[in-house]
Amino acid sequence: DAGVIQSPRHEVTEMGQEVTLRCKPISGHNSLFWYRQTMMRGLELLIYFNNNVPIDDSGMPEDRFSAKMPNASFSTLKIQPSEPRDSAVYFCASSYDRGIQVNSPLHFGNGTRLTVT
């Protein structure tokens, strides 16, 4: 089990540039989450996919943020254009949702530290 794989680990970019963060969930997991972590706001849920379909994107800050999950093994989070206030650590997590009787814990990647100057 390779775990959740995120890339890149670190990203430094200038304001206005497009940033794409990537995530490979654990094979067999059917739920995928994107979180943002900052000192000020803690851990914030941005978007949640179930079976590759976006279920809840109410946490996406604004139209500059978009996320896709074209298949069960890959997801991207894109920021265009980026701003300094987007600087944070972005985590991807996956789980296997077995229905209403049982729910599984999340497995997190090691995150992408984004710095926008």
Residues 45 and 101: their CA atoms lie apart, in Å, by 23
- The answer to whether 65 contacts other proteins (rule: CB under 8 A) is no
Amino acid identity for residue 105 in this structure: P
CB of 66 to other proteins, least distance (A): 20
CB of 16 to other proteins, least distance (A): 28
54, 113, 52, 51: which is closest to 87 by C-alpha? 113
- The answer to whether 2 contacts other proteins (rule: CB under 8 A) is no
CB of 31 to other proteins, least distance (A): 7
29, 15, 50, 16: which is closest to 109 by C-alpha? 29
Contact residues for other proteins, defined by CB under 8 A: 4, 31, 33, 42-43, 45, 48, 50, 55-56, 91, 93, 97, 99-100, 102-103, 105-111
